[in-house]
Amino acid sequence: MEIGNALMAGQGIAAVPNSRSGSGWARVADLSEFVPTESERLGRDGDEVTPAVLRVVKSLLDSGHDVVMLSRRNSAPFGNVSYDREWSGRPKGLEHFLEYIRSFLLEEERERVTASTAHKYKGLEKAAVIVLDANADSYPLIHPNWFFLRLFGDSIQRIEAEERRLFYVALTRTQCSLVVLCDSPQRATPYLNDIRGEMEFSAVSWDDLNPVPLRDGARLEVRVYGPFDVREQLGKLGYRYEHSDTSRRMAVTAEGFTLDSLCLQPWARDGVRIEVYSEAGELLERRSAAN
C-alpha cells in the first residue's frame, strides 16, 4: 500500500492497508540489465523476456507465494516473445503467454500462476504480483488519435489521470510481494519516477534469481578460453563468443556429459582452458587441455 500511496501522493487521502496485509516488499526488475545464460538462450531467437519472467515467477513460487502476472494489454509483454515450434501456431494473447510460462514449471506449480489485465483484476488480490509491462507506452497508454475523444469531453489530463489510477490498481493487488518489470530506465513509465520521489524502490538483482531449466532436461554451460584460431574453430561448431571475457560458450545436455570426452576434441590442445558451469552459474569443473 505504501507504494500506491507514493504514486498518488498529493491526489487525495492516503489508503490504509487492510488487516490481511502484512509486511511486504517491492522491487523494480530492469530487463536491460538481464543477461541470460547459454541454456536460457537456447531456441529463443533473442527472446530474453521469457527467461527473465520465469526467474521472477519461480523465485516467488519458491518463497511460498501464488503469483499473478498483470499486463496493461491482453497480450504478451514487450511483443518480442519467441515461442518454440509447439507453441508458435497459437493465438498470441496474454492467456497464451501464461500457458507458455506454465509449461516450464513443475506440474504442481502451474495452477499457482495466473495472468490478467490490470483492468480485470480490480478488487482482487494475490500474494505476489508481477507487473509485466511498466513501460511508458503502457502506462500511460494513450491512443495517437486521442484528440478525437475531446468530442466526448475527454482531455489529455483526464486520460493520464485515469492511466495513473490503473497503474495504482496494478501495484496494489499484492498482499506480500511486488515485482515491476520495465524494458529499460529510458523506456520505463514516468510513474516510477513519481514513486521514487516519495519512497525507496529497490532493484531486482538478476544474479540472485536462478534460471529455470528447460523442459527437456538440465543443461550445463561450457566456456572455452584459448588462442584466436581455437575460438574461430569453436564458432563454426556453434559456440557463442562472449566479448566480456573473450570466451566461447555453449549450453550442453547435462545427462551423459563428461569433461574428459570434451578434452578429446581436436581443438582442445595446449593453451586451452575449459570451464563447466551449472545452470545456476556455479563453477563445477575447470581444466587446462593438453593434447
Residues 48-71: pLDDT tens digits? 899 999 999 999 999 999 999 999
- What size, in residues, is the chain? 291
Residues 259 and 134 in one domain: no
70 three-state secondary structure: strand
Stated pTM of the model: 0.81
Distances (CA, A) of 50 to 79, 97, 205, 248, 269: 11, 9, 17, 24, 37
As a whole number of angstroms, the distance between CA 38 and CA 18 comes to 44
By mean pLDDT, which of 39-53, 135-149, 267-281 is the weakest? 135-149
Total structural domains within the chain: 2
Please name the amino acid found at residue 7. L
Evaluate if residue 147 carries a pLDDT over 50. no
User: pLDDT tens digits for 236-285?
Assistant: 999 999 988 999 999 999 989 999 999 999 999 888 999 999 987 889 99
The last residue of one of the domains, among 208, 231, 250, is 208
Peptide linkage before 140 cis (omega within 30 of 0): yes
Question: What are the residues whose beta carbons fall under 8 Å from the beta carbon of 233, sequence distance 6 or more?
Answer: 266, 267
In a domain, 139, yes or no: yes
Domain enclosing residue 243, as ranges: 219-288
Domain termination residue (choose one: 188, 208, 228): 208
Query: Cell 515485482 sits at which residue?
Result: 179
Predicted local distance difference test score (pLDDT) of residue 61:
97
- Report the sign of the C-alpha dihedral through residues 133, 135, 141, 146, in that order: negative
Task: For residue 230, give the C-alpha cell.
Answer: 581455437
Q: Who has greater pLDDT, 1 or 124?
A: 124
In a domain, 213, yes or no: no
Any residues with CB less than 8 A from the CB of 51 and at least 6 apart, and which? 34, 36, 37, 40, 44, 211, 212
